[in-house]
């Protein structure tokens, strides 16, 4: 029977995969992916050293979800990050607070979204338009006629953005640069086939006496949604509280744009996702 | 004992090699056979046959992964033993795994008759190479070791429902992969 043929064929797979599965050790995967084998040797070395350092020192919050993998990079690990405002379009950054990596895919389906629910004081931003980026930043601006008292003093009430997971193949990552994450929780939303990461994050900003700006502490909630099969990610971050942010996420509608994107379609493979940065 | 030292013992034709192999990997080897065979005596015979197979093949072979090598031998022996049993004695845990794998090759689809199992195995290797570690772990534990889902859940700390959903997605993914490689007619 066919199924038995498949089962028998499984018996002849590379024994390294069998050895690797003797115990569950997500930080010590032995078998590199086909594509990883093509990574530049320098990158392999730096990632391996960083991973070894993280594991050896034991100070990291190395975590894992069935789709997402996340870790706190070592302080000396550096990333070349896309940054429009720099002369060459990138900046080099160390001391990132969180690195989120994704399963590798050949192609990602690019998507767009629209909000199905927003908090009452954000309804001025509700629209039927499909988009790939949403920000409620202007609601926090007291000098703007759109400013809303409830968001006074916030940095970013709500931000939503889409990414293609293929952008982060071969060791690329979504990074938190400024915000320190708290405990990371993992869920799977079966009805939408989404892997979900949820966490709280905080950021301290020093005072700037020359502009009479006091020291401030900001608190954020973050949700990352991943559709592994289609290869897209949606980030939601904001200061509207976890319950409301979750409701926004649960009510998002998605549709494909019709574009498919591959690793080589992106110039940069490290992107920061702090709210309000840049 | 490290693999290289156990292999050295095999190359020296020292019977200590079998004892060290059993001491280091015996639990994994017995588990592999035990997941497929019900009868403890069958398991023991299968394990002993596997050790004999290793003894007879090393040297000249020097496998890169000794545990993978011996587990593969014991699994193939267990599958052969199951095949020789009558339908009345069919193994329920294996039947469940086979039923799940049928998702990858629907009844109306036929694997090309001349396709060698080895070619199929290499295609599965490529499929596994492209998976994340957790996905690969789940797939191997379920479809190579034939572990019950409840056991995989206990090993990983994820809920059984999550494991089942993930395995379903992986079977879909394997089906697409085999189609893409032109292995399904």
**Residue B169, domain CATH:** 1.20.140.160
Q: How many whole angstroms separate alpha carbon B23 and alpha carbon B74?
A: 16
Do B102 and B170 share a domain, yes or no?
A: yes
Contact A4 B98 (CB under 8 A): yes
CA–CA distances in Å: residue A1 to residues A7, B106, B108: 10, 11, 12
CA distance A157 to A139: 7
Residues in chain B within 8 Å Cβ distance of A23: 155
- Residues in chain A with CB shorter than 8 Å from the CB of B111 are 2, 5-6
Tell me: do B120 and B170 sit in the same domain: yes
Report the alpha-carbon angle A87-A89-A93, nearest 5: 100
- CA B32, B170, A29: angle at the middle one, nearest 5? 60
* Residue B81 shares a structural domain with residue B99: no
Determine whether the interchain pair A18/B165 forms a contact, defined as Cβ–Cβ distance below 8 Å: no
Helix residue ranges per DSSP H, A185-250: 242-250
Position B156 in a domain: yes
Parallel, antiparallel or unpaired: strands A270-272 and A173-176: parallel
Query: Would you say residue B75 lies in a domain?
Result: yes
* Mean pLDDT computed over every residue of chain A: 80
Give the Cα separation of B88 and A44 in Å (integer): 53
The residue among B21 and A144 whose pLDDT is bigger is B21
B76: nearest CA partner in chain A: A11
Cβ atoms < 10 Å from Cβ of B69: 25
Domain count, chain A: 1
B121 and B142, same domain (yes or no) = yes
Half-sphere exposure of A48 (CA within 13 A, CB side): 11
**Residues B111 and B63 occupy one common structural domain:** no
Domain boundary at B86, B112, B140, which?
A: B86
CB A95 within 8 A of CB A79: no
Q: Do B68 and A14 touch (CB under 8 A)?
A: yes
The model's pLDDT over A174-193, given as tens digits with 9 standing for 90+, comes to 999 989 999 999 888 878 88
User: What does the pLDDT read at residue B155?
Assistant: 82
User: Domain count of chain B?
Assistant: 2
What is the rounded radius of gyration, in angstroms, for the C-alpha atoms of chain A?
21
**Domain for residue A126, yes or no?**
yes
Query: Strand locations in B31-179, DSSP E?
Result: none
Pick the more confident residue, A71 or A196.
A196
* Percent of chain B's residues with pLDDT above 90: 32
Closest residue in A to B28 (Cα) is A22
Q: Do B64 and A24 touch (CB under 8 A)?
A: no
Asked whether residue B99 falls in the same domain as residue B42, the answer is: no
B133 and B156: one domain?
A: yes
Q: What is the mean pLDDT of residues A107-114?
A: 94
B25 and B76 together in one domain: yes
How far is B9 from B16, CA to CA, in rounded Å? 7
Residues B69 and B123 in one domain: no
Mean pLDDT of A84-101: 82
Q: Identify whether A277 is part of a domain.
A: no
Among residues of chain A, what percentage have pLDDT more than 90?
A: 34
Find the domain containing A85 and state its range. 2-272
CATH number at residue B33: 1.10.1740.10
| Chain B residues within an 8 Å CB radius of A66 | 132, 134-135, 138, 158, 162, 166
Amino acid A26: pLDDT: 61
Higher pLDDT, A44 or A129: A129
Interface touch B111/A2, C-beta < 8 Å:
yes
pLDDT tens-digit profile of B32-78? 999 888 788 989 999 999 999 999 999 888 998 899 999 999 988 88
Residues B80 and B113 in one domain: no
Integer angstrom CA distances of residue B109 from A1, A79, B96, B119, B175: 11, 47, 20, 18, 11
On whether residue B74 sits in a domain, the answer given is yes
Do the domain assignments include residue A165? yes
Alpha-carbon gap: A214 to the closest alpha carbon of chain B (Å): 45
Separation between Cα atoms, residue B46 and residue B51, nearest integer Å: 9
pLDDT for the residue B171: 87
Q: Which of B125, B138, B155 sits opposite A13 (nearest CB)?
A: B125
> Which range marks the domain in which residue B28 is found?
3-86
Model confidence at A35, pLDDT cuts 50, 70, 90, reads very low
Pair type for strands A69-71 and A63-64? antiparallel
User: How many CB atoms within 10 Å of residue B108?
Assistant: 6
Name every chain A residue with its beta carbon within 8 A of the beta carbon of B67: 15, 18-19, 22
- A153 part of a folded domain: yes
Report if residue A57 sits inside a domain. Answer: yes
Instruction: Please state the ipTM of this predicted complex.
Output: 0.83
Q: Are the beta carbons of A10 and B109 separated by less than 8 Å?
A: no
Distance (Å) from the C-alpha of residue A30 to the closest C-alpha of chain B? 9
Residue A146 has a pLDDT of 67
Range picked from A64-73, B77-86, B147-156 for highest mean pLDDT:
B147-156
Judge contact between A34 and B130, C-beta under 8 A.
Answer: yes
Distance of alpha carbon A242 from the chain centroid: 17
Taking alpha carbons only, the member of A1, A9, A17 closest to residue B118 is A9
**Interface contact flag, B128 A228, Cβ < 8 Å:** no
Tokens for B137, please give them.
Answer: 């772990």
Whether residues B78 and B114 fall in one domain? no
* pLDDT (0 to 100) of residue A55: 42
Do the Cβ atoms of B137 and A35 come within 8 Å?
A: no
Give domain status of residue B185, yes or no: no
- Residues B69, A208: Cα–Cα separation, whole Å: 64
Contact B105, B184 (CB under 8 A): yes
Quick one: B25 and B74 in the same domain?
Answer: yes
Q: Is residue A278 part of a domain?
A: no
pLDDT bracket for residue B89 (50, 70, 90) = low
Residue A186: closest C-alpha in chain B: B158
pLDDT of A205 above 60: yes
Task: Give the three-class secondary structure for B26.
Answer: helix
CA distance B45 to A30: 31
Rg (CA), chain B: 18
Of A259 and A148, the one with more pLDDT: A259
- Residue B117 lies inside a defined structural domain of this protein: yes
**Among B86, B102, B123, where does a domain finish?**
B86
Q: Which of B86, B113, B144 is the last residue of a domain?
A: B86
Q: Rounded to whole angstroms, how far apart are CA atoms B82 and B32?
A: 13
- Tens-digit pLDDT profile for residues B1-19: 789 999 999 999 998 999 9
Q: How confident is the model at residue A33 (pLDDT cuts 50, 70, 90)?
A: very low
**Domain for residue A177, yes or no?**
yes
Predicted TM-score (pTM) of this structure: 0.52
């Amino acid at each position: 029977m066919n199924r038995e043929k498949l089962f028998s064929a499984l018996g002849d797979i590379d024994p390294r995969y069998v050895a690797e599965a003797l115990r569950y050790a997500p930080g010590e995967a032995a078998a590199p992916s086909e594509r990883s084998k093509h990574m530049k040797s320098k990158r392999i070395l730096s990632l391996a050293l960083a991973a070894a350092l993280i594991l050896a020192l034991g100070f990291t919050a190395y975590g894992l979800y069935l789709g997402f993998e996340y870790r706190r990079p070592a302080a000396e690990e550096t990333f070349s990050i896309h940054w429009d405002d720099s002369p060459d379009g990138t900046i080099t950054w160390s001391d990132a607070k969180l690195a989120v990596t994704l399963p590798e895919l050949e192609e990602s389906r690019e998507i767009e979204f629209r909000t199905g629910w927003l908090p009452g004081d954000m309804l001025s931003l509700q629209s039927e338009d499909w988009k790939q980026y949403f920000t409620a930043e202007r609601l926090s601006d007291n000098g703007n006629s759109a400013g809303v008292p409830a968001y006074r003093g916030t940095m970013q009430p709500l931000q939503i953005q889409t990414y293609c997971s293929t952008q982060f193949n071969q060791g690329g990552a979504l990074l938190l640069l400024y915000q320190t994450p708290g405990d990371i929780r993992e869920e799977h939303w079966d009805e939408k086939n989404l892997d979900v990461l949820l966490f709280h994050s905080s950021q301290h900003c020093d005072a700037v006496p020359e502009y009479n700006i006091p020291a401030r502490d900001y608190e954020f909630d973050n949700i990352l949604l991943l559709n592994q099969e289609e290869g897209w990610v949606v980030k939601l971050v904001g200061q509207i509280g976890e319950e409301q942010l979750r409701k926004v996420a649960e009510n998002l509608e998605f549709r494909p744009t019709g574009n498919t994107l591959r690793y080589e379609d992106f110039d940069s493979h490290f992107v920061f996702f702090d709210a309000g940065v840049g | 004992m490290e693999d290289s030292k156990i292999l050295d013992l095999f190359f020296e034709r020292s019977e200590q090699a079998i004892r060290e192999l059993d001491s280091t990997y015996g639990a994994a080897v017995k588990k592999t056979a035990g997941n497929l065979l019900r009868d403890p005596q069958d398991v023991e015979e299968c394990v002993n046959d596997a050790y004999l197979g290793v003894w007879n093949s090393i040297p000249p072979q020097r496998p890169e992964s000794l545990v993978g090598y011996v587990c593969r031998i014991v699994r193939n022996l267990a599958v052969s033993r199951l095949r020789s049993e009558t339908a009345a004695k069919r193994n329920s845990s294996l039947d469940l795994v086979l039923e799940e794998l049928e998702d990858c090759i629907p009844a109306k689809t036929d694997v090309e008759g001349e396709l060698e199992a080895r070619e199929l195995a290499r295609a599965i290797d490529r499929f596994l190479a492209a998976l994340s570690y957790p996905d690969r772990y789940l797939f191997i534990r379920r479809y190579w070791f034939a572990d019950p889902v409840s056991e995989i859940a206990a090993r990983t700390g994820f809920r059984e429902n999550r494991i089942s959903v993930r395995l379903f997605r992986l079977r879909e993914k394997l089906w697409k992969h085999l189609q893409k490689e032109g292995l399904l007619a």
